[in-house]
Amino acid sequence: MLEQRAIALPGHEPAYRTGLGEAYFVDSLVVLDALPANRVNLAATSPPVAVQRKKEYGNREQVEYVNWLAEFARRVYRVLKTDGSFVLDLGGSCERGIPSRGHYNFRVPIKMCDELGFFLAEDVYGYNPSKLQGTIEWVNTRKIRAKDNGGAIPSNLLQIPNTESNGQYLNGCKATGAKQYPARFPVNPPEFFLRFLTEPGDVVLDILAGSNTTGSAAEGIERRWMAFEESREYIVSSGFRFLRKGVGSETMRAIYDDLAAGRPVDLSPYVAPAQMRLR
């Protein structure tokens, strides 16, 4: 039986809790200092992208972005266990007015290593075929940055076909009954890193939780979790992620109303058993 509460956050009641975690409607920069040191196995988060247009979830100008993010990283470092990890999902974006990529996604890890005590363990690139790698303005409209490939912007990820060896691997496993390596391809990025870097019962923290995909992935594979999010709107709807199939619309409405009104909700009676929810 796992201890329910990931870590107590003095002076704060979670917006909702499940069997394994708590989501808080808080400013991470404020509450991180209230957490005990050396307790978190994995902090995983995707910060707002540093784009030129401020989006509703708080994008920052690139010039201030690196320092802004470093303030979170400095606090995360204190709460991480000595063998803990910090996974940061850093997207890219273009500079204002010129066909050039921003540099912040390089500067952030360099600053974290040079000044904050982190070590860079790995950089991992995801491939989303429906996502543009640059702004359409420079490639397709002004045709300045790259050749127009019939409307397609080339991906920055080279895929090297590996079907031959994988196929044989799978055939061999089937033929012999050998266990297949489970993490050949991630179901989703949070779950991939959770399986990669933590064990069941470990504590996972997302300091910029948004819709709480990290907490949901953690719950699904029996990691304890904490989520911090400064938008009540995002916290409220994120609770739906945890509800098992079959929870009726009236119950959903009641949960929503309680969360929106700031009344703490215990979702554990409505949460699907671990493993089943992610499938």
Ligand X SMILES: C[S@@+](CC[C@H](N)C(=O)[O-])C[C@H]1O[C@@H](n2cnc3c(N)ncnc32)[C@H](O)[C@@H]1O
List interacting residues with ligand X (CB under 6 A). 27-29, 46-48, 57-58, 208, 210-211, 213, 228-231, 234
Overall residue count recorded for the chain in this entry: 279
- The span from the CA of 201 to the CA of 269, in Å, is 20
Q: 165 and 188 in contact (C-beta within 8 Å)?
A: no
Q: 87 and 80 in contact (C-beta within 8 Å)?
A: no
- The span from the CA of 107 to the CA of 277, in Å, is 37
Nearer to ligand X, 140 or 238 (CB): 238
Nearer to ligand X, 133 or 237 (CB): 237
- The span from the CA of 278 to the CA of 258, in Å, is 26
Q: Shortest Cβ distance from residue 210 to ligand X (Å)?
A: 3
- Whether 89 sits among the annotated catalytic residues: the reply is yes
- Whether 130 sits among the annotated catalytic residues: the reply is no
Rounded-to-10 torsion of CA 30, 31, 32, 37:
130
Task: Point out the catalytic residue in the list 46, 85, 216, 238.
Answer: 46
- Whether 46 sits among the annotated catalytic residues: the reply is yes
Task: Point out the catalytic residue in the list 14, 47, 48, 190.
Answer: 47
Q: Is the dihedral of CA 109, 68, 133, 102 positive or negative?
A: negative
Candidates 261, 178, 176, 271; CA nearest to 222 is: 271
Task: Point out the catalytic residue in the list 10, 48, 85, 89.
Answer: 89
Active site amino acids: 46-47, 89
